[in-house]
Structures are given as C-alpha cells and as structure tokens.
Structure 1
Amino acid sequence: MTRGITRRTALAAGAGLLAAPPLVREANAQSAFDWKRFAGQRIEVSLTANPRSQILIQNQREFEDMTGIRVGAEAIPEQQHRQKFAIEFASGRPSFDVVGISLHVNKRQVGKARWCTDIRALMADPAITAPDFDFADFGAGAVAYSTQSDGRMDTLPEFTDYFILYYNKELLAAQNVAPPATYDEMYESARRLNDSRRQIYGNVGRGLRNANVVLWSSFLLGTQQRDCINAERQLITDTPDAIWAGEFYKKLLRDCSPPGVSGFNWNESQTTFMQGRAAFWLDGVGFAAPLEDRARSRVAGKVGYAVVPRGPAHHHCAMFGTGFGIAEASQKKGPAWLYLQWATNKTNQLRFLTSGAGSPARTSPYRNEEAISQSRFSREFFATLVESARISRPGLPEIVPVTEFRDTIGAALTSTIGGADVATELKRATDAFRPVLEQSERAG
C-alpha cells in the first residue's frame, strides 16, 4: 500500500561514467539470463514515501508480469521509515527484502552494521544479471556514494538530489534583477525584491531545526573549508568559515524571508514559492514538479532554474542521494536483485527525470532528447541538473549520528534567526556535539 507522499531525498549522478567491472562484462557476455527464474515467489519492499517511490509502485505490475514475482511494496514517510528499518535491522529479522536508503543520513550506519548485502557478487552472476543492465550507465559519483569505505557496494544508486536555485521570473523581471551569480548578489537582490506590504519576500528557505542544516551547509560549501569534519574526522563547525556561513544564513532568513520562517521546512517553503510570494528558494531539485502544476501553482510557467550561486572561495552545490539495498538477512536475494535491476532500469530513471521527480543516478536519461523535448520542464531545468552534477559535493558529513548532528547544529541556526549571536551559538552546538561524534567514531 502507499502512504502519504511527504518528502524527497540525493547524490551526484556525476558527469563521468564508471566503467563496468570486467567480471560484469564477462558475466553478461555469457549470460543465460531468464527473468522468470524466480516466478511464483514474493518479495517485500520498504520504500520512503516520495514521488519516485510513487512511480515505482504505480508501475510495479511491469516487474510482476515480466518476472512472475509478486511485490508487497510499502511507502512510509521519511522520518518514520528511517526509524522503522533501523529497528527491524537491529532485531535481525527485517520484514523486507529490499529497502530504500537515504545515503546522506544512513550510509555509514548501514555500512558499519553490515545490514545490506554486497551486490557485487550478484552483479557478477550471469544467471541473475540481465545482459542489458548496463552498470556503466550509472554516474561515477552515484556509484561512489553507494560504495562503503571498505569497498563493499551495499546499495544500488537510485536518485541524486542537488540543491538548486529556484527563482520567480516575473518578480525578478519587474525589478530588472538578474539571477544571482554569487551569494552576495543573492542577498542584495533578495533585499531589493522584499515588499512586505504586499507579502512578497526576496527569499524563502528552511528555518526549522534539523531541516535547516542542509541550507547552512550549502553556504559552507562555498567557503575555503567546505566540510563539517576534517581529514582526522574531527568536528569543525565553529571555525571562521562556518561562522561566515551562519551569518549569511542568518541575514538571508532574518532580513529577506517571511515572518515565521524559523518554523519552515521544505514544504512550507515550497508552498510560499508556489503562491508567488518569494523571489528565491534554494532547495532540492526533487521539489520541482508541483511548481509547474498549473492546477496548484500560481508560478507555473514562471519558474526559473539555476545552479546555486558561487561562494567566497568555491562554487559547489550540496548533493544528497538514495539507493536500494538488499537485506543481508533476506532469504530471497535473487528475486530482490531482479527487483533492483527493474527499479533502476533506464525506463524508470527516465520517468524520474521527465516527471520532475528528481535527478536519476543513471546518465542516459540526460541524453534522451526526444523525452526531454516533450517534458513540461524547460531546457533550463535540465541544463541546471547537468551543471549541478559537475559542481556537486556531499551536503552532509558521512557519520553515524547524522540526526543528532542536524538537531544540534540546526537548533543553533534557528536561534540565530531570532537574533542570537552566530559565533556563540555555533560554538555551543559544536561543544555539545563533539563528544557524540567522538563516541560514535570510537564505536566503529
């Protein structure tokens, strides 16, 4: 069954291609592959509720008819899904065979616990890997994100999510404002476009604790530092660069955004932008589809898409991603592997792209001119995705206590919107989280 569609989640498709390993090429060349090999079996699939999961569930009859395998698929809101699969994995008896994983949140946790099987052996088996699987079609960045530090590939890439800049073409044109090239330009333009008397604001964005950290980290990516932890895996969130990112976050949300923005997550931001009440919105590309829905959005046909502005030292966009894993405890790894191949095939990945559900992990959809030309999205949208792939970097550190990190740093950021001192708040939050990170690193 499908529960409410509530969120998206991302990592770089990357501009380059990863060459298929020799064992995969050899296996497929000799393949005696049969999609019906496991006919009559049933697998359980646990997904995060989002537009991509909706697409897979709506089309899973294709897989069932092709394989004879029945699928019990469940789509659960993101926060509940993370809690549910962690509890089930820890019990040693997960109810699912296939699980969707937010790599930017759970990659290190899943990898350290070895909850998901290493799919490299499955890829090398000619009896269960389709000759047209085309592993080389997956972007190099997405494959790297699905691979653990010890070389185990315990998820297959599904989706890459970049932070991009949405802008209201009509509002910018009325004031003769160009899309900003730098963060400083973005702030100055947002201030200029503010018209609180008409309830029009220069910017809208995440102010809610936890959710807001990825906006702050987007600004941090533009500094010399770029990262939240250093090479020694020590926390560095109270440095001059981190404080600069915090100051920019504070003034953009405090000076240029709607009242109550400290309680805004992505959905409140999306609603405000759809109503035509914000000029700029920096957030994930997976939120684009409703903006172009003429039945729901006042800005349909008026949305501009651009890569995020350049920071003071670098030009990067935050990237996030998801992958599909097969439970190590599953007794149906073969059927589950067939499902992974279908779920990430070129048809489904193209459906993601052309529907605006997000950036596929495969590279071939971006080259499908016929499908792109028939999409309701502009060429600017697709060009933004391609360019974002070239400048993308992880938007969150690869650590186990990601949620605690976002809660702690996020609380500090929310306080600054109310007027608190940025340096003081980040120092307090860093001191509070540092022992949590150190303990998690020792545990590994």
Structure 2
Amino acid sequence: MFDNGISRRTVLKGSLAAGALGLAGTPAFADPQWKKFAGTKLEVNLIKSPRGDVLEKYAKEFTDLTGIEVASEQIPEQQQRQKAVIELTSGKPSFDVVHLSYHVQKRQFEKAGWLADLTPFMKNPDLTAPDLTEADFSSAGLLYAKDQKGAMRSLPFSVDYWIVYWNKDLFEKKGLSYPTNFEEMVKAAEALTNPSDGTYGFVARGLRNANVPVWASFLLGYGGDFLDANGNLLTDKPEAIEGAKLYQRLLTKAAPPGVAGFNWSECQSAFLQGKVGMWLDGVGFAPPLEDPTRSRIVGKVGYGVMPTGPKAQASATFGDGIGVAAASTKKEAAYLYCQWAVSKLMGARLLQAGGGVPFRNSILNDKEVRAGVKMPAAWVEAVAGSAKVSRLGLPVVIPVTEFRDIIGTALTSTLSGGDPATELKKATEQFKPVLERSERS
C-alpha cells in the first residue's frame, strides 16, 4: 500500500530522493491491485505550482507502481482554469485528471457535471488503500470535495488555512500573550501600535478583492456565513456587519499607513521588518519569515490558530483538489493517480518541501512527518489546529471573482470612513442579480 514502513521511514527521515523504493530496490507499494491497469496512458492537467512540481518530480514512481504511463503539463493558474473550462465544456477534454482550485471552481464544475463520482471507487478495496478514508480529510476538505448529494467529486489535495503570524518580541516587550479571542486580539493590536516609532499591532490585506478572506475570517467567528441553505445572500446580516466593523477597526486603528492598498506581499514585507505585531493570512506565506536573507525576525515569529469569535472559532480555508474528468474513458486508472497524489507519502513530501499543506489529518498529526518539516514546530501546530476548525473562506458560487470584487470594494470603502452596514447592504444588492444570473444559466 501507499504507507509502506520502509518507504515512509526513508522519506520521513529526509531522504526524499530515495523515492518509493524499498531497501532492496523493489517498489515499496507492491500490491497486485495497482497493476490492474498497467499499459494505460493518462493525460494530467496540472496548475503550475509547487504542488504540480512535486507530482511531476515523482511521476515515475507512480508508473513503477502501477504500470500506468503519465503525460502531464503544468499551466499557470489563470490559463489552466480557462483551458479546463473550454475543454470540459466541449465534452471531449484532452485530459483524464484535472487539478482544480476549489474556492473558485467547485460550484462551476459540479453544476456542469464535469467530474466523475469517486464514491464507488473509494468503497472498492481493489482500488483504494485502507488508510484512505473520508474521515481522514479535514471538514473543509470534505465540504469542498463533496457535491450537494454527498458524492465525492474529487480528492482534497492541498489546503491553505488562515492563521495569525505574531511577533513574539513585540508581544513580550508589552507583556502580552497570544490572543485567544477577538476582544483580546483588538486590545493587543491597539496596545502594540505606536505610530511615533513606526510600530503597528496588526496588518492584513486592505486591497479590493484580496481583502475578502480577511473579513470572512471575522464573519465566521461571529457565527455568520455567506449564503443560507436556499442560496440567499447573508452578506448584509448582523454577523457580516460585525465582521466588517472589526475589519474596519483593526485596519484603521492598528495597521500601517497605506494598508488600503496592501495585498499579501505588502503585508508580508511589513511583517518581515519586525515592526508589526500580528499578520493575518494563509499558512503558505511562512517560509520567508524564517529565511535569514529576507527576514529580520527569524526565530521570533509565533504561529497561531485564529482566535475565537463571539460565536465560533474558525480558520478561513481555501484549497485545491484533484479529480477525474467525467468524460474520461480511463476513470479507474485516473482515480489511482489521484489517490497516489494525495497519499501519505506524497503528502509528507509536499509538507516537508514547503510546497503545500495536505488536507489529511493523519499526515499533519504524524510525529515522523513533523520531524522532517523545515518550518518551526509551532507552524505545524498551527496548521494541525486550524484543520480542526476549518471553514470555507468563500461562498460556493460560480461568480466568485465578482463576489470578491463587489464585497471587497465595500470593505475598502470602510477604511476611508464608510459605514460597514451601509456598504455591505449596497454590495449585497449589487451582487444579487449577478448570482441569480449565474444560477439560471
């Protein structure tokens, strides 16, 4: 199976180049079931990313294991999305396996019926290793992968949890501890802010569109959501407004000047200088913080799970998956590739290389896997803790970009004095017809 002891020990001790071969040079995953589709050739469509790099780097191992040949291409994200949609719409895609961005494409792919149902494959012991179970994926991963009827339309691959990066030195100088709730977070942010010496307590994205996940992180803590069970917008409800008020307060009272124009890169740059107490963003932005050539705060960074809101603790979650095209004539072989892609061995490699964070809890909770991670232990703890409180960070709708543009404009307006309730009500009314048109088409 995928979790062979020899290969795992080899990989987890850092010898990634040893691949999936045992000590005697035989395939570590040796099991007759994997050879069932030997001779098949798969076409795989990947997003150009560290995740795609890892899959391509070790593709020969999959071929050695299964006898299945793989031809894959990595395409930059925006172009890959366009190519996938055009080909899937045609009904004759050139690929059997497709890499998808859940937070952008989930609803579109499901509504169009472009992905095969993997549920029967997962229940088939001739196709699925016993350690691959639904229960091993984080709750957000399952929400992303399953359709409205509960069918698995893909396998959750790599996740981006939102965490709080915090400067331990600045906190210590003020006698502060890491905040456990929103109220403590606000107090800490304001206590750390001293514009006269260029120190600020909090930074997060203020730029239109990019800022929506920041607000979503607060919205979820207030017990809110984007849509109700009938698909009606909730973005002008009290919970959404309270989230916007908190967003406004932190970014106007405790953030650096010009934050309304900040995307993640500007936030990261500010935090790297050692003059910002907290930065709220995705876990994937951590490596430069521990790089002595880029960071003034190496060894001084804390990594925290999102503090608890008045109604809930929630880590806004984004991610990607890997699925089988419904039009493929090689679905079982394609499923084996997807299963290999999210296996414990490949997930450990992904995590240890800093290329992504697996959705599987068994990988994140494995002490041997953690021992091989280059990032500090606190980062891994924050990842594992976030998995337990993961919630989708954007609504599952087709016009996600329009949603981010419209709601993001409202949020940016609050930074120049706009009233959160007024701005969100206006934005909600503006987005309603966009959403209705997308569901009718």
TM-score over 0.5 for the pair: yes
Question: Match for residue 190 of structure 1?
Answer: 189
CA distance in 2, matches of 1:200, 1:85: 46
Given that 1:104 and 1:321 are in contact with CA atoms closer than 8 Å, whether structure 2 keeps it comes out as yes
**Comparing 71-80 and 242-251, the one that deviates more:** 71-80
1:149-174 Cα deviation digits (max 9, x unpaired): 12332101112332111111122222
Question: Match for residue 38 of structure 1?
Answer: 38
Question: Match for residue 151 of structure 1?
Answer: 150
Letter in 2 for 1:35: K
Question: Match for residue 137 of structure 2?
Answer: 139
Q: Does 2:198 correspond to 1:173? A: no
Q: Does 2:364 correspond to 1:366? A: yes
Question: Match for residue 304 of structure 2?
Answer: 306
Which residue of 323, 336, 352 corresponds with 1:354? 352
Q: 1:283 offset after TM fit, Å?
A: 1.4
- Give the secondary structure class of the aligned counterpart of 1:221: helix
Question: Match for residue 203 of structure 1?
Answer: 202
- Give the secondary structure class of the aligned counterpart of 1:312: coil
Q: Does 2:51 correspond to 1:52? A: yes
Aligned-pair RMSD on alpha carbons?
A: 2.5
With over 3 angstroms needed to count, the CA separation of the structure-2 counterparts of 1:117 and 1:219, relative to structure 1, is: same
With over 3 angstroms needed to count, the CA separation of the structure-2 counterparts of 1:270 and 1:93, relative to structure 1, is: farther
With over 3 angstroms needed to count, the CA separation of the structure-2 counterparts of 1:119 and 1:202, relative to structure 1, is: same
Q: Which runs of 5+ in 1 are unaligned?
A: 1-30
Letter in 2 for 1:96: F
Question: Match for residue 325 of structure 1?
Answer: 323
CA distance in 2, matches of 1:176, 1:76: 48
Given that 2:134 and 2:142 are in contact with CA atoms closer than 8 Å, whether structure 1 keeps it comes out as no
Which residue of 370, 375, 378 corresponds with 1:377? 375
Letter in 2 for 1:336: A
CA distance in 2, matches of 1:134, 1:309: 31
Q: 1:316 offset after TM fit, Å?
A: 1.9
Question: Match for residue 261 of structure 1?
Answer: 259
Letter in 2 for 1:33: Q
Given that 1:160 and 1:321 are in contact with CA atoms closer than 8 Å, whether structure 2 keeps it comes out as yes
Given that 2:45 and 2:72 are in contact with CA atoms closer than 8 Å, whether structure 1 keeps it comes out as yes
Question: Match for residue 430 of structure 1?
Answer: 428
With over 3 angstroms needed to count, the CA separation of the structure-2 counterparts of 1:420 and 1:288, relative to structure 1, is: same
- Give the secondary structure class of the aligned counterpart of 1:34: helix
Which aligned pairs between 1:14-29 and structure 2 lie closer than 5 A?
none
With over 3 angstroms needed to count, the CA separation of the structure-2 counterparts of 1:237 and 1:42, relative to structure 1, is: same
**Comparing 114-123 and 268-277, the one that deviates more:** 268-277
Which aligned pairs between 1:389-400 and structure 2 lie closer than 5 A?
389-400=387-398
TM-score scaled to structure 2, two decimals?
0.85
Q: How many residue pairs end up in the alignment?
A: 410
Which aligned pairs between 1:411-426 and structure 2 lie closer than 5 A?
411-426=409-424
How high is the sequence identity, in percent, across the aligned residues? Answer: 46
With over 3 angstroms needed to count, the CA separation of the structure-2 counterparts of 1:121 and 1:410, relative to structure 1, is: same
1:268-326 Cα deviation digits (max 9, x unpaired): 32233233342211112222233223333332222101111122232222122321011
With over 3 angstroms needed to count, the CA separation of the structure-2 counterparts of 1:57 and 1:417, relative to structure 1, is: farther
Q: Does 2:235 correspond to 1:241? A: no
1:234-276 Cα deviation digits (max 9, x unpaired): 1121222222211111121223222332222223322332333
Which aligned pairs between 1:83-102 and structure 2 lie closer than 5 A?
83-102=82-101
With over 3 angstroms needed to count, the CA separation of the structure-2 counterparts of 1:417 and 1:35, relative to structure 1, is: farther
Question: Match for residue 21 of structure 2?
Answer: none
Question: Match for residue 272 of structure 1?
Answer: 270
Q: 1:124 offset after TM fit, Å?
A: 4.8
With over 3 angstroms needed to count, the CA separation of the structure-2 counterparts of 1:34 and 1:243, relative to structure 1, is: closer
**Comparing 154-163 and 251-260, the one that deviates more:** 251-260
Q: 1:359 offset after TM fit, Å?
A: 3.1
Letter in 2 for 1:237: T
Letter in 1 for 2:193: N
- Give the secondary structure class of the aligned counterpart of 1:117: coil
Q: 1:72 offset after TM fit, Å?
A: 3.3
With over 3 angstroms needed to count, the CA separation of the structure-2 counterparts of 1:42 and 1:278, relative to structure 1, is: farther
Given that 2:323 and 2:335 are in contact with CA atoms closer than 8 Å, whether structure 1 keeps it comes out as no
Given that 2:361 and 2:384 are in contact with CA atoms closer than 8 Å, whether structure 1 keeps it comes out as no
CA distance in 2, matches of 1:229, 1:130: 35
Given that 1:229 and 1:236 are in contact with CA atoms closer than 8 Å, whether structure 2 keeps it comes out as yes
CA distance in 2, matches of 1:380, 1:209: 31
- Give the secondary structure class of the aligned counterpart of 1:33: helix
**Comparing 307-316 and 292-301, the one that deviates more:** 292-301
Which aligned pairs between 1:43-122 and structure 2 lie closer than 5 A?
43-122=42-121
**Runs in 1 of length 4+ with deviation above 4 angstroms?**
124-127, 130-133
Q: 1:397 offset after TM fit, Å?
A: 1.9
Q: 1:74 offset after TM fit, Å?
A: 3.1
TM-score scaled to structure 1, two decimals?
0.84
Given that 2:138 and 2:388 are in contact with CA atoms closer than 8 Å, whether structure 1 keeps it comes out as no
CA distance in 2, matches of 1:318, 1:312: 16
Which aligned pairs between 1:118-133 and structure 2 lie closer than 5 A?
118-124=117-123, 129=127, 131=129
**Comparing 299-308 and 129-138, the one that deviates more:** 129-138
- Give the secondary structure class of the aligned counterpart of 2:114: coil
Given that 1:201 and 1:256 are in contact with CA atoms closer than 8 Å, whether structure 2 keeps it comes out as yes
CA distance in 1, matches of 2:112, 2:189: 45
- Give the secondary structure class of the aligned counterpart of 1:189: helix
1:387-437 Cα deviation digits (max 9, x unpaired): 222222222222222221111101111122222222221111111011222
CA distance in 2, matches of 1:99, 1:352: 18
Q: 1:112 offset after TM fit, Å?
A: 0.9
Letter in 2 for 1:390: K
